[in-house]
Amino acid sequence: MVAENVFFGIIAAAMAISALGVVSTKNVVHAALYLVIVLAGGAAQFLLLGQEFVAWVQVLVYIGAVIVLFLFGIMLTRAPMHPGETLGNDLRWPAAAAALFLAAILGSLFVKTWHGQKLHLESPVRTSEITNAVFRVYIIPFEIVGVLLLGALIGAVVLARRD
């Protein structure tokens, strides 16, 4: 039990620092690399929770595909990569106030509602259980999300091509 909490603390601290790096760094490529750390930390948290399938899907889809897309976007739009060029607008303090306000509301709600609620992780979820659920109970959402992905693919091609 203690070892799990130590691992959670280390990964959570790395994720929090990297998340602050994503929103505050002056270099666009560094922001993408900080995002990699946050997403990999999320996958590690899923492993700690005993939910390994979604952890590996997160590694494949997010770190493998989404980050590469982001790097493509950065390279194709000639983003500023030198310190000194400004990346933020002048809304820093109102935005910080809004984020802190929401964090206070969410934090107090969570602490009040789920105080002392323990997770009992005696049986990790097997991948076969998830596939059974996806292909039996949730087959219609699965088909719909397939059509949505096809629509997004065609839409991206139509938007981005030069004619």
Partner 1 sequence: MLLNQFLLLSAFLFCTGIYGVLTRKHTVLVLMSIELMLAAVNINLVAFGALHNSPTDPGRVIGQVFALFVLTIAAAEVGVGLAIVLLIYRNSHSADLDDAHALKG
Residues 134-163 that bind partner 1 (CB under 8 A): 134, 138, 141, 145, 148-149, 151-153, 155-157, 159-160, 162
Surface-to-core class of residue 59, CB atoms within 10 Å of its CB (0-12 exposed, 13-18 middle, 19+ buried): middle
| Rounded Cα distance, 120 and 159, in Å | 48
Among 82, 83, 84, 116, binds partner 1 (CB under 8 A): 116
Which residue shows structure tokens 């607008």? Answer: 89
**Which residues in the 42-81 window bind partner 1 by CB under 8 A?**
42, 45-46, 48-51, 53-54, 57-58, 61-62, 65-66, 69-70, 72-74, 76-80
Q: Using CA atoms in the order 145, 146, 148, 149, what is the torsion angle rounded to 10 degrees?
A: 120
Q: Which of 87, 85, 44 is nearest to 62 (CA)?
A: 44
Q: Which of 69, 73, 67 is nearest to 36 (CA)?
A: 67
As measured in angstroms, the least distance from the Cβ of 37 to partner 1 is 11
How many residues contact partner 1, by CB under 8 A?
Answer: 90
**Which residues in the 25-44 window bind partner 1 by CB under 8 A?**
28, 31-32, 35, 38-39, 42
Nearer to partner 1, 84 or 119 (CB): 119
As measured in angstroms, the least distance from the Cβ of 82 to partner 1 is 13
Among 82, 83, 84, 89, binds partner 1 (CB under 8 A): 89
119 binds partner 1 (CB under 8 A): yes
Q: State whether residue 78 is helix, strand or coil.
A: coil
